Amino acid sequence: MIASCLDNGLGKTPPMGWNSFNYFDCVINETLIKEVADGMVDHGFLKAGYKYLNIDDGWSNDYRNESGYLLPDPDAFPSGMKVLVDYVHSKGLLFGIYADAGLTTCVKRPGSLNYEKKDAQVFAEWEVDYLKYDNCDNMGLPAMDRYKASHKDKMRDALNATKRPIYFSICEWGENKPFLWAPPIGNSWRTTQDIKANWTSILTILDTQRNITNYAGPGGWNDPDMLEIGNGNLTLDEQRSHFSFWAALKAPLILGFDIRNPPPDAKDMALNTEIIAVNQDPLGVSVNIVEHNKYYEIWTGPLSDGYVA
């Protein structure tokens, strides 16, 4: 098991929260995010442990200010990002934001390449608690050259320099085997391409986790992408299997349905305290395949109380 060397003390258990991308794509605004914050509290998600409210791509302006700092889109976030973060914090939640390790984000907003210090600084000033760091428009440069702390001014050291604990979620889609190099850098690292709300996508992603579960543990987690329960045309059993496996893999539990009006089945699943307890077990050991044939697979993993998942 490999622990993270990111100097923030976070991620001792997998993060739990909500992200805007799977349901709202990149069309977000401050009114929507305030409603989401209200929904996370009113529907019991915060009480169950889902504390991070994370906005994804599309929040920033098309250009930086004259000093090179990021700005929120003035039409979508007219009150400014600090006001929104304060509102989210007032609900007892933590706030997550999105940035990109390339020249631009996936929807062509300013990227953080060569602006790591300034972006980390402004995130800390806004009192951001979580950063999802994507990999679009990377000019073909190796991910390690843009994520690794040994390279001057890269994001891990920039975040540490702010002295604000900010959970660092690396998202280079598993293309460069991040489980081999990311544990000293981030609190979690994507191990796959983007998940889709269909069973084929979920099974494909699950298969990619087979031989890498031992690379994660308290402080740094494999991330097979966000949850799709409550989205698409997944059957009830498919959703239950999806949620249970992600929990047992010790994956981040990041919800992605419309949490303002949660689908009843998805809500019941997400609030299942016994499944959450498996995910949040302090031992932090993922299930792994111990037996398989062409008909079935058996995945098991120890828990801190002596039982086995």
Helix 236-248 with 199-208: angle, nearest 10 deg: 20
263 forms bridges with which residues in the sheet?
none
Annotated catalytic residue, options 57, 119, 134, 157 = 134
The DSSP output letter for 175 is T
CA nearest neighbour of 254 among 54, 99, 34, 109: 54
185 near 6, Cβ under 8 Å?
yes
Q: Where are the beta strands (DSSP E) in the chain?
A: 16-19, 52-54, 94-100, 130-134, 167-170, 188-190, 221-223, 253-255, 288-292, 297-300
List Cα–Cα distances, 97 to 85, 108, 110, in angstroms: 10, 16, 14
3-state SS assignment for residue 66: coil
Nearest 5°: phi and psi at 297?
-130, 140
Q: Catalytic residue at 134? A: yes
Annotated catalytic residue, options 38, 137, 194, 265 = 194
Within a 10 A sphere around the Cβ of 48, how many other Cβ atoms? 16
3-state SS assignment for residue 167: strand
Instruction: Tell me the C-alpha distance between 115 and 121, whole Å.
Output: 10
Instruction: Tell me the C-alpha distance between 26 and 59, whole Å.
Output: 8
Within a 10 A sphere around the Cβ of 167, how many other Cβ atoms? 24
Instruction: Tell me the C-alpha distance between 7 and 110, whole Å.
Output: 26
Catalytic residues: 134, 194
